């Protein structure tokens, strides 16, 4: 079972498998410190374009829906940062006064935007699950994947998401997929 996000192709190619059609989509995140004691944020929260999830140190991480468009990456990132500030200010009381640490999260993105879930070889020796919406799709995907692997029952719900649709067969694509040599 390989659920390694942006490291999926590195692991696949190191095992002699063809890479999948994956790209990386950087986006701004803000790590917020808050004085909520032990309560904190325990679940993912979605409000408008804003998404919030528990952070690693008692606070929470906030981000926004990826901006559409094919413009330069730095322009898209700046648009997302402004959108994050606007949405967070609207939904989070005292956002401007909270301790903030800005970071860039790199989202794994199947090239066609749909999750890739399933065996990548006929012998079913390697099974992958990679998607951007892991925090929302994770519970359902996990249940279906477990059923397929443990009980060997093919989940018809996953048929449209099989990785065989996007194994990078052509050399032009392989150069653009995620690899250990590609800098972000």
Delimit the domains of the chain by residue range. Answer: 5-21+111-168, 24-108
- pLDDT of the residue at 7: 93
pLDDT at 118 over 70: yes
pLDDT at 149: 93
Mean pLDDT value of segment 6-20: 92
DSSP 95: G
Other beta carbons less than 10 A from residue 67's beta carbon: 18
Band the pLDDT of 166: cuts 50, 70, 90: confident
Rounded CA separation 60/48 (Å): 17
Q: Tell me which DSSP letter residue 166 carries.
A: G
- Picking from 41, 40, 78, 122, the residue whose alpha carbon sits closest to that of residue 64 is 78
SS3 for 13?
helix
To which residue do tokens 């794994």 refer? 108
């Amino acid at each position: 079972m390989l659920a390694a996000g942006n490291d999926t192709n590195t692991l696949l190619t190191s095992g002699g498998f063809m890479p999948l059609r994956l790209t990386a989509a950087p986006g701004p995140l803000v790590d917020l410190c808050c004085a909520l004691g032990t309560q904190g944020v325990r679940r993912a929260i979605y409000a408008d374009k804003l998404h919030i999830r528990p952070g690693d140190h008692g606070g929470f991480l906030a981000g926004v829906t990826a901006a559409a468009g094919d413009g330069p990456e730095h322009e898209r990132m700046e648009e997302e940062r402004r959108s994050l500030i606007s949405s967070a200010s609207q939904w989070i009381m005292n956002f401007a006064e909270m301790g903030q640490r800005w970071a860039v999260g790199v989202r794994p993105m199947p090239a066609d935007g749909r999750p890739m879930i399933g065996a990548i070889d006929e012998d079913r020796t390697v099974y992958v699950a990679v998607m951007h919406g892991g925090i929302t799709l994770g519970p359902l995907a996990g249940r279906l994947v477990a059923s397929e692997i443990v009980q060997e029952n093919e989940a018809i719900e996953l048929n449209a998401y099989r990785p065989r649709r996007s194994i990078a067969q052509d050399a032009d694509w392989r150069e653009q997929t995620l690899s250990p040599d590609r800098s972000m």
